[in-house]
């Protein structure tokens, strides 16, 4: 069975009656924070590379066609912003996840995903040191299962840490690993399998708070999810807005995509992906906008705020009625240069 079609068809078939996405997102963030306090070690990158992490998780629509959009071209005066009245149309690029899921528990599914790219080599700058994560909520009748699949490239299997109890050796899909299960307590079913490129692949299946699942159901589901993870991945997510050709020396270091009841939301970390502080570009709420009027960006009004050296450029109504924030400690001109290269919806 085609893996990407499995994911796309499962999501599409149940999108109209999926659980409350905003509620699921909030619950998953809490679950992720609780688990990481026990499981996840600090993430480290290779020599000379600093981790540029996006903390949010994201509800995503998988493999959706991208609409036509527009991006600014040209540059402003040296040291100053550019004002662009019109720009040629271009499509928002799909973003690729580093691995794909081949099986999910039956039921109505909500998807959450993110990817962090911390460096890479000059010959392959897009290859991540720490790749991606899927979080899913699968509802069948009164039962809701929470599924978390993530790469832990910096944690060898022998260093695995569990919430659910002592681990035991296991082999799943030809990969050696360690598993643990406690269906009646924290953790549910957890397994760390040897990652094909080093470190671990972590899979966690648990019943959502207020729901129940038998120990055997969690074990069977977790093992089957783990067995059907495919490397490398070709699954893609569609962001609310994109990045065009960035100014020299800058590239995307991480992305975060969300599609909930409040509409699609996206975050990027832009920088050198090394020691240079990143520029954060993200969807925002209209009520968050502050500052004084700035120069227009791609035909949109802006606001600019300097808070003790941390600068934020708000692009008003950049994604329909939603503003985009471009923020960082760099110069004002750098924020405008990044903003001018965003790919915005029409």
pLDDT 10s digits, 307-316: 999 999 999 9
For residue 80, which phi and psi values (nearest 5 degrees)?
Answer: -135, 165
> Does residue 161 belong to any structural domain of this protein?
yes
Q: 276 and 182 share a domain? A: no
Q: 312 and 288 share a domain? A: yes
- Of residues 247 and 14, more confidently modeled: 247
Query: What residues are paired with 280 via a beta bridge?
Result: 269, 327
Q: Return left, alpha or beta for 173; rule: phi > 0 is left, psi -120 to 50 is alpha, else beta.
A: left
- Of residues 272 and 144, more confidently modeled: 144
> Does residue 308 belong to any structural domain of this protein?
yes
pLDDT over threshold 50, residue 22? no
115: confidence class by pLDDT, cuts 50, 70, 90: confident
Q: 242 and 153 share a domain? A: no
Span 285-323, pLDDT tens digits: 999 999 999 999 999 999 999 999 999 999 999 999 999
> Does residue 62 belong to any structural domain of this protein?
no
3-state SS assignment for residue 186: coil
Q: What pLDDT, on the 0 to 100 scale, is given for residue 67?
A: 34
> Does residue 56 belong to any structural domain of this protein?
no
Strands (E), 168-298: 168-172, 175-182, 188-194, 200-207, 229-230, 236-237, 242-243, 251-260, 263-271, 279-283, 292-293
**Residue span of the structural domain in which 79 resides:** 68-93+236-345
pLDDT over threshold 90, residue 36? no
Taking residues 114-135, report their average pLDDT: 65
Report how many domains make up the chain: 2
Q: What pLDDT, on the 0 to 100 scale, is given for residue 112?
A: 67
Q: 163 and 240 share a domain? A: no
62 DSSP 8-state letter: B
Q: What is the pTM of this model?
A: 0.66
Q: What is the mean pLDDT of the chain?
A: 75
DSSP string for residues in 13-37: HHGGG---HHHHHHHHHHHHHHHHT
Give, in order, the Cα–Cα distances in Å from 133 to each of 113, 116, 255, 298. Answer: 5, 9, 11, 33
**Which residues, including other chains, have CB under 8 Å from residue 117's CB and lie 6 or more apart?**
126, 127, 128, 129, 131, 252, 253, 254, 273
Q: Among 204, 230, 256, identify where a domain stops.
A: 230
Question: For the chain, where are the alpha helices, taking DSSP H only?
Answer: 3-14, 21-36, 215-227, 332-340
Query: What residues are paired with 150 via a beta bridge?
Result: 133, 202
126: confidence class by pLDDT, cuts 50, 70, 90: low
pLDDT over threshold 90, residue 137? no
Q: Among 184, 215, 230, identify where a domain stops.
A: 230
**Contact present, 182 and 205 (Cβ < 8 Å):** no
Instruction: Report the C-alpha dihedral over residues 177, 182, 183, 184, rounded to 10 degrees.
Output: -170
> Does residue 250 belong to any structural domain of this protein?
yes
Q: 42 and 120 share a domain? A: yes
Q: 248 and 209 share a domain? A: no
Q: 256 and 328 share a domain? A: yes
Q: 150 and 85 share a domain? A: no
Other Cβ atoms within 10 Å of 120 Cβ, number: 18
> Does residue 168 belong to any structural domain of this protein?
yes
Q: 131 and 203 share a domain? A: yes
Q: Kindly report the CA angle at 115 between 111 and 121, in degrees rounded to 5?
A: 160
Length of the chain: 346
251: confidence class by pLDDT, cuts 50, 70, 90: confident
Q: Is the peptide bond preceding residue 232 cis, with omega within 30 degrees of 0?
A: yes
Q: What pLDDT, on the 0 to 100 scale, is given for residue 129?
A: 54
CATH number of the domain encompassing residue 266: 3.30.200.100
Q: Among 230, 253, 287, identify where a domain stops.
A: 230
**Contact present, 201 and 149 (Cβ < 8 Å):** yes
Span 228-241, pLDDT tens digits: 999 988 888 889 99
Cα 115 to Cα 113: distance, rounded to the nearest angstrom: 7
Question: For 158-303, where are the alpha helices, taking DSSP H only?
Answer: 215-227
């Amino acid at each position: 069975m085609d893996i990407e079609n499995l994911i796309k068809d499962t999501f599409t078939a149940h999108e109209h009656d999926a659980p409350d996405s905003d509620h699921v997102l909030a619950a998953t963030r809490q679950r992720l924070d609780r688990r990481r306090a026990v499981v996840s070690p600090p993430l480290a990158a290779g020599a000379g590379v600093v981790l540029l992490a996006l903390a949010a998780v994201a509800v995503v629509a998988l493999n959706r066609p991208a609409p036509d959009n527009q991006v600014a071209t040209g540059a402003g005066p040296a040291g100053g912003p550019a004002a662009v009245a019109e720009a040629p149309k271009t499509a928002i690029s799909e973003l690729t996840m580093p691995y794909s899921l081949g099986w999910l528990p039956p039921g109505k599914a909500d998807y959450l995903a993110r990817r962090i790219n911390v460096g890479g080599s000059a010959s392959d700058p897009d290859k991540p040191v720490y790749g991606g994560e899927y979080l899913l909520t699968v509802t069948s009748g009164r039962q809701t299962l929470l599924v978390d699949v993530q790469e832990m490239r910096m944690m060898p299997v022998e260093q695995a840490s569990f919430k659910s109890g002592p681990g035991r050796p296991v082999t799943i899909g030809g990969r050696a690993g360690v598993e643990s299960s406690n269906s009646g307590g924290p953790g549910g079913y957890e397994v760390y399998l040897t990652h094909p490129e080093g470190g671990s692949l972590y899979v966690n299946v648990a019943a959502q708070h207020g729901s129940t699942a038998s120990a055997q159901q969690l074990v069977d589901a977790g093992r089957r999810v783990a067995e059907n993870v495919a490397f490398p991945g070709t699954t893609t997510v569609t962001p609310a807005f994109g990045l065009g050709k960035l100014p020299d020396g800058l590239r995307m270091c991480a992305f975060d995509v969300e599609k909930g009841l409040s509409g699609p939301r996206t975050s990027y970390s832009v920088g050198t992906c090394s020691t240079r502080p990143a520029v954060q570009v993200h969807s925002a709420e209209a009520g968050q906008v502050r500052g004084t009027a700035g120069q227009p960006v791609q035909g949109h009004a802006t606001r600019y705020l300097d808070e003790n050296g941390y600068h934020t450029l708000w692009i008003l109504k950049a994604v329909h009625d939603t503003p985009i924030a471009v923020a960082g400690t760099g110069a004002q001109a750098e924020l405008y240069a990044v903003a001018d290269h965003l790919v915005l919806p029409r």
